[in-house]
Amino acid sequence: MELMGSDQAETLRSLRRLPTGERVATDDVRIIAVASGKGGVGKTQLVANLAVAFARQGRRVLALDGDMGMANLDMALGVTPSATIADLMDGTTTIDKVLVVAREGVTLLPAGSGRYELANISDRERAGLFEAIDTLENRFDTVVIDVGAGIGGNAVSFAAAAQDVVVVANLEPTSLADAYALIKTLATKRGVKHVRVVANMVRNAAEGEEVYRRLSLLTARFLNVGIDYLGYIARDSAVPRAVHAGVPVIVGEPKSGAGQCYLAIARKLAKTPADVGSATGGVRLFWRRLAGGSITQ
């Protein structure tokens, strides 16, 4: 893939063209990947709630289901897509026909569920997919990605390409070990220098900090990765209720303990500048990088 000269990269970093011809600073673009290593720790619920919270802040949000093959962000957002990334990859539809407008103005790019081939796409196929997604760059200023569990090609590629990598973990040793394994893979294979931790299903703030403390001890000892704490989500029956209802907690039960936690995390993320360590500019550069191209700085 073509290397980009530093002048060109700089121009693309600082300016982004909107369809109207208006230009905005790419600092306004935010690409957040939510990953975990271990499955079932609360990624999809966090993505659905963050997407709605960012939309309420007036941002143009794309919720991207990167859990290809086991996708369920559509259910979390309460929509039933008629087409998915699987159809896009089959060449039977276009990306515009796959996008679904979900609640509160969030747009979802749904992936297929139960599709073995989606979970096992080649690097080349992934590059083709990202080229299609690249065409969306002017329409969104915030992308929240639900990264699948594990350290497979899809998960690692989505996580490594985002500006902000959010790692969800709980206090269980298996969750901490898998979160560490993911961070290690991102750091050693993809050069990720910084991650943010969200502790989920904890009893209180102190338990959340303990999740962060344990992960940061491990990373400080063995890896050259910065690790920050974004906050915690309380274990709360409002979350399974939200799952059953197909309604994000901050929509269905905003005053619940978990609802307040999701909102606090969204506020904190919004206040924190995008991670410049792994930022490569706008959505376009993000996808370019995801597709395996390198950008000279």
Ligand X SMILES: Nc1ncnc2c1ncn2[C@@H]1O[C@H](COP(=O)(O)OP(=O)(O)OP(=O)(O)O)[C@@H](O)[C@H]1O
Interface residue list for ligand X (CB under 6 A): 36, 39-45, 67, 149, 200-201, 233, 235-236, 239-240, 243, 258
Q: How far is the CB of 197 from Mg ion (least distance, A)?
A: 18
Distance CA 113, CA 148 (A): 12
Q: How far is the CB of 171 from Mg ion (least distance, A)?
A: 19
Is the Cα dihedral 233, 192, 268, 137 positive or negative?
A: negative
Q: Which is nearer to Mg ion, 118 or 285 (CB)?
A: 118
Out of 26, 36, 44, 280, name the contact with Mg ion by CB under 5 A.
Answer: 44
Q: How far is the CB of 70 from Mg ion (least distance, A)?
A: 7
Distance CA 165, CA 222 (A): 19
CB 230 within 8 A of CB 32: no
Q: Which is nearer to Mg ion, 147 or 225 (CB)?
A: 147
Q: Does residue number 113 form part of the binding site for Mg ion (CB under 5 A)?
A: no
CB 47 within 8 A of CB 73: yes
Helices (H), the chain: 6-14, 43-56, 73-76, 85-90, 95-98, 116-119, 123-134, 153-161, 173-190, 205-222, 238-245, 249-252, 257-271, 283-290
Task: Please tell me the count of residues contacting Mg ion according to CB under 5 A.
Answer: 2
Q: Which among 158, 180, 200 has a CA at the least distance from the CA of 42? A: 200
State which of positions 24-43 bind Mg ion (CB under 5 A).
43
Q: Does residue number 175 form part of the binding site for Mg ion (CB under 5 A)?
A: no
Q: How far is the CB of 237 from ligand X (least distance, A)?
A: 7
Q: Which is nearer to ligand X, 200 or 278 (CB)?
A: 200
Q: Which residue is nearest to Mg ion (CB)?
A: 44
